[in-house]
Amino acid sequence: MQALILEQNEGQTRAEVKNVAISALPEGNVTVDIDYSGLNYKDALAITGKGKIIRQFPMVPGIDFAGRVYSSEDNRFHVGQPVLLTGWGVGENHWGGLAKQARVNADWLVPMPEGLDARKAMIIGTAGFTAMLCIMALEAAGVTPQSGEVVVTGASGGVGSTAIALLHHLGYQVVAVSGRTSTHSYLKQLGAGRILDRDAFADSRPLEKQTWAGAIDTVGGKVLATLLAQMNYGGCIAACGLAGGTSLPTTVMPFILRNVRLQGVDSVMAPAGDRLTAWERLAKELPESFYQQAATEITLAQVSEYASAIINNEVRGRTVVKID
């Protein structure tokens, strides 16, 4: 089979599409023929060597994929069944989705929800799944469309794009934060009512004017600190990314004086029940127009080129990889 193989030599990561024996696949009780995979920020870090994502080489990257069951030793899945996978360390410490086949643990698979196919599932991908988990976190905190504006940072990325489309469809007033003016038309098409420059979130006092009922933050760092200072009383931030850094230069004041909730959102190890709920909602609640607006399709041979573009913030929305 063809696969994108990452190897390391003298500390440098090298990515190359190679023919690999199927017998080289890692252990697992279900083998899947992959139709589509996604190219995520974490994949880009691994492929370019910009992040310490992978510690065992050789490795096939690709933290999500969709296809059909080729063989199964688990009675929950049958040959030919459409399935998808996100997370569980696949593409990091277990060979992932940027290959024609993957062999995985059946517990990691999700049956393809009605209304989705492999391509649509990977346009959603890990990013869209994370966005839905963030929205579910806001809902659990009591943030409703009537509560006020919800702000989304890193708006032109995969998580941000899907979050805006979902929030708009659910009736929320959405404000997008982006550092690229070239994406403004795209963000408005997705459903953003207003767009703010990310430079406005570079610095803040411990408390500022109450502005946001809720937030989905993919950036972290000073941006997240500014959001905390601007939250309404009882507001909630669903934090799922750290593109702007891992530090959080804030105080306890928003939490104590305004009853603000900071909810971390992890999609890698999310429980099976949450996964099924999120994917069923994604299949029903994402508008059909999203699949035309938010996706760039590439081949396996183009992955390294696009990984560099993602790192350089030159890609908007989702990048899906058609596996031939």
132 and 258 co-located in one domain: yes
Q: Which residues sit opposite 212 in a β-bridge?
A: 231
Between CA 82 and CA 182 the distance in angstroms is 37
Q: In Å, how far from its chain's centre is CA 188?
A: 20
pLDDT in tens, 235-271: 999 999 988 888 999 999 999 999 999 999 999 999 9
Joined together, the tokens standing for residue 40 give 């995520």
pLDDT at 103: 98
Angle at 131 between CA 294 and CA 297, to 5 degrees: 25
* Non-local CB neighbours of 199 within 8 Å, separated by 6+ positions: 179
CA-nearest of 93, 38, 103 to 69 is: 103
37 and 75 co-located in one domain: yes
Between CA 264 and CA 279 the distance in angstroms is 19
174 and 207 co-located in one domain: yes
53 and 105 co-located in one domain: yes
pLDDT at 204: 84
Region 226-236: what's the mean pLDDT? 97
- Kindly report the backbone phi and psi dihedral angles of residue 74, in degrees, each rounded to the nearest multiple of 5, phi listed first: -120, 130
Q: pLDDT exceeding 70 applies to what percent of the chain?
A: 100
Give the pLDDT band (50/70/90) at residue 272.
Answer: very high
Domain assignment present for residue 247? The answer is: yes
pLDDT at 313: 83
Domain assignment present for residue 151? The answer is: yes
43 and 95 co-located in one domain: yes
Region 285-299: what's the mean pLDDT? 90
pLDDT at 314: 86
Q: Residue 114 in 3-state DSSP?
A: coil
137 and 200 co-located in one domain: yes
49 and 18 co-located in one domain: yes
pLDDT in tens, 169-183: 999 999 999 988 888
Structure pTM? 0.93
Query: Do strands 231-239 and 261-264 pair parallel, antiparallel, or not at all (unpaired)?
Result: parallel
Domains identified in the chain, total number = 2
Domain containing residue 248:
126-264
Taking a C-beta distance cutoff of 8 angstroms, is the pair 36, 18 a contact?
A: no
156 and 253 co-located in one domain: yes
Helix axes 158-169, 272-285, angle to 10 degrees: 70
Between CA 271 and CA 210 the distance in angstroms is 34
pLDDT at 292: 86
148 and 170 co-located in one domain: yes
Domain assignment present for residue 209? The answer is: yes
96 and 157 co-located in one domain: no
pLDDT in tens, 59-82: 999 999 999 999 999 999 999 999
pLDDT at 237: 98
User: With 90 as the cut, is the pLDDT of residue 295 above it?
Assistant: no
Q: In Å, how far from its chain's centre is CA 163?
A: 10
130 and 256 co-located in one domain: yes
Domain assignment present for residue 46? The answer is: yes
Q: pLDDT exceeding 90 applies to what percent of the chain?
A: 85
Answer with the residue of higher pLDDT: 55 or 223: 223
Domain assignment present for residue 178? The answer is: yes
Mean of the per-residue pLDDT values of the chain: 94
Domain assignment present for residue 176? The answer is: yes
Looking up residue 144, the CATH number of its domain turns out to be: 3.40.50.720
